[in-house]
Copies of this chain bind each other. A is one copy, B any other.
Amino acid sequence: MSRNILLTLKFDGTAYHGWQLQSNAVSVQQRVNEAVNAVLHENINASGCSRTDTGVHAQMFCCNFHTEKSIPAEKLIPAVNYYLPDDIAVYKALEVAPEFHARFSCKSKEYVYRICNTPYRDPFYEHRALFYPPMLNEALLNEEIQAFVGYHDFTSFCSSGGSVEDKRRTVYAASAQRSGDLVDIRIHGDGFLYNMVRIIVGTLLYVHMGKIARGTIPDIIKAKDRTAAGITAPPQGLYLNRIYYDGVNLLE
């Protein structure tokens, strides 16, 4: 009987054209498929919890696949890691219900956008954070970001190219917090549109610069117009941080 396996991964996305298989570029999905198939001698194709853009990272990314093989899920972890490159690792494997799907079963996600707020670039955050030299007032960012919390039409915060028609989403929580030189912008929601987090961050930075007036994010949301919002922040600061499913504990 076919078994449904959920893998939880971390990856540094610098070298990849996102999760999704591409015909002419290397993706994380390709590397995961290759590693799992090297272990199982099958021809699985893992389904991911989301697409990610080129250069975007994951502290938690989930995918699932169906296999005929009987290897215990936890034994897959070291075996698959052996075949994965250094910038991708599996750290959890679970057998899940047949109908479970990494994307469609997902209840909510948390993203973190990391800013390295130092006067000069820091080699240890190269490709892993947005380097932003002007001193950030994280309290201002934290105040402004609260405007996104709730159920809204996020059309103003969606790049063209997305195929989704209903652009209403719920943001459960959002914050900006400093830890030393790092400012982490955190957003937890039931779903995210194409480039939504990166446009939210770009808009917050525009508010910080004074290019967008303080307190006007509710108006930008109401405008339902991408050009009302700020720029799309670059990918290297973005991390998929948590994935939530009902009845599946990914943290213990």
Complex CA–CA separation, A90 to B123 (angstroms): 10
A-side binding surface: helix, strand, loop or mixed? mixed
Is A12 close to B, CB under 8 A?
A: yes
Report if A11-B123 is in contact (Cβ < 8 Å); known contacts: A91-B118, A118-B91.
Answer: yes
Number of copies: 2
In the complex, how many residues of chain A place their beta carbon closer than 8 angstroms to a beta carbon of chain B? Answer: 24
**11 sample A-B contacts, Cβ–Cβ < 8 Å, listed by A number:** A12-B123, A12-B124, A12-B126, A57-B124, A59-B124, A78-B120, A88-B123, A89-B120, A89-B123, A91-B118, A91-B122
CB contacts (< 8 Å) of A10 on chain B: these are 122-124
Is A98 close to B, CB under 8 A?
A: no
Chain A residues at the B interface, C-beta cutoff of 8 Å: 10-12, 57, 59, 77-78, 81, 86-91, 118-124, 126-128
The answer to whether A86 touches B120, judged by C-beta atoms less than 8 angstroms apart, is no
Complex CA–CA separation, A80 to B51 (angstroms): 38
